[in-house]
Copies of this chain bind each other. A is one copy, B any other.
């Protein structure tokens, strides 16, 4: 067990993540977070000037913990464009569950809080770069349908891979993670890389019904 001394900002971030990741979590208030951390509400403000700052810091902390770069690395080593697309979809799709708790919280305040919206957009923009790279690789292979707009293909892949779609399929519809991955992979491979064989994976998943 690690008995290292943890500084207060880190303690706050950990407590925040724990609250956000709790099953069926409500959006925690600053009081909730302070209580969970074991300090006073004001002490939280000593380290994070606002709720939004704290949420943003929590996402960054989480990315560091999860080493998102490492998770997405395999896709960068792919030989062909199709392979790269495949690897990227799988890697990101499997990364989503790890960030979903925090993502939910950020997305929830996005409509009322411009700063949070900006933070979330930045994060999604990072992911979009992965999409763009995969599309670029396909383009260099000539695996993209003729006259394809690179931007448009990126938009589509980015949308298919959105956290909202993952949420809809796995949380609302009760799909298993495997089923989600197989379907989205098939969709992306078939419609973007025009690998029609990939269609066999779509809707061919046997899930134990929720």
Q: List, in ascending order, chain B residues with CB within 8 A of A206's CB.
A: 149
Whether A111 touches B190, Cβ cut-off 8 Å, given contacts A145-B203, A152-B205, A155-B169, is no
A65 at the interface (CB under 8 A from B): no
Q: Are B153 and A159 in contact (CB under 8 A)?
A: no
Query: How big is chain A's contact interface, by range?
Result: 35 or more
Q: What CA separation (Å) do A169 and B164 show in the bound complex?
A: 13
Chain B hits for A108, CB < 8 A:
111-112
CA distance A112 to B148 in the complex (A): 41
- Smallest Cβ-Cβ distance to A205: which chain B residue: B152
B196:A203 contact, CB within 8 angstroms: no
Does A175 contact B155, Cβ atoms closer than 8 Å? Answer: yes
Residue A13 interfacial (CB < 8 Å): no
* A104 interface residue (CB < 8 Å to B): yes
CB distance from A127 to the nearest CB of B (A): 12
Q: Does residue A147 face the partner (Cβ distance < 8 Å to B)? A: yes
- From B111, B152, B175, contact of A27 by CB (8 A): B111
Contact among B165, B202, B204 for A165, CB-based, below 8 A: B165
> A27-B111, A111-B104, A165-B162 are known contacts. Are A183 and B156 too (CB-CB below 8 A)?
yes
